Amino acid sequence: MKLIEFYVNKIKYTEGIENADLSFINPILRRRLSLLDRVSAASLYSCFNEKIQNIVFSSKTGEIERLLKIIAQYSTDEEISPSVFSSSVHNYAVSSFLMNEKKAVPYTALSAGTNSIFAGILTACVSKYSENLFVYSDIENNNYVSLCIHISKQKNTQADKYLIKPFEGAQIIYTLKDFVSFFNGNTNKLETAHYILERINND
Is the separation of the CB atoms in 56 and 110 below 8 Å? yes
> For residues 107 and 54, is the Cβ–Cβ distance under 8 A?
yes
* 70: in domain: yes
Burial class (CB in 10 A: 0-12, 13-18, 19+), 134: buried
In the prediction, which pLDDT does 121 show? 95
* pLDDT (0 to 100) of residue 24: 92
Q: What is the predicted pLDDT for the residue at 107?
A: 94
Distance CA 101, CA 86 (A): 19
CATH number at residue 61: 3.40.47.10
Q: Evaluate whether 24 touches 102 at the Cβ level (below 8 Å).
A: no
Calculate ∠ Cα 48-54-55, nearest 5°.
Answer: 65
30 burial type by CB count under 10 A (0-12 exposed, 13-18 middle, 19+ buried): middle
pLDDT of residue 39: 93
Q: Which residues pair with 152 in a beta bridge?
A: 7, 131
Give the per-residue pLDDT at 166: 87
Examine residue 191 and state whether it is found in any structural domain, yes or no.
no
pLDDT value at residue 173: 79
The boundaries of the domain holding residue 140 are 7-156
**In total, how many domains does the chain have?**
1
Q: What is the pLDDT of residue 147?
A: 97
Q: Within a domain: residue 180?
A: no
pLDDT score recorded for residue 20 = 93
Domain assignment of residue 19, yes or no = yes
C-alpha distances in Å from residue 163, one per residue of 49, 85, 160, 175: 24, 39, 10, 20
Beta bridge partners of 4: 164
Q: Is there a domain that residue 136 lies in?
A: yes
What are the percentages of helix, strand and coil residues in the chain, rounded to 5?
35, 30, 35
Residue 185 lies in a domain: no
Could you tell me the pTM of the whole model?
0.88
Residue 42, class by beta-carbon neighbours within 10 Å (0-12 exposed, 13-18 middle, 19+ buried)?
buried
CB 94 within 8 A of CB 107: yes
Residue 6: how many other CB atoms lie within 10 Å: 21
Whole-number Å distance between alpha carbons of 182 and 197: 9
Measured CA to CA, the distance from residue 166 to residue 191 in angstroms comes to 10
- Print pLDDT tens along the chain (203 aa): 678 999 999 999 999 999 999 999 988 888 888 888 999 999 999 999 999 999 999 998 776 676 666 666 656 766 666 666 555 565 778 888 998 899 999 999 998 888 899 999 999 999 999 999 999 999 988 899 999 999 999 998 889 999 999 887 767 778 899 999 999 999 999 988 788 999 997 76
- Distances, alpha carbon 202 to alpha carbons 8, 51, 85, 198, in Å: 11, 22, 46, 12
Q: Tell me if 139 is assigned to some domain.
A: yes
Residue 164 lies in a domain: no
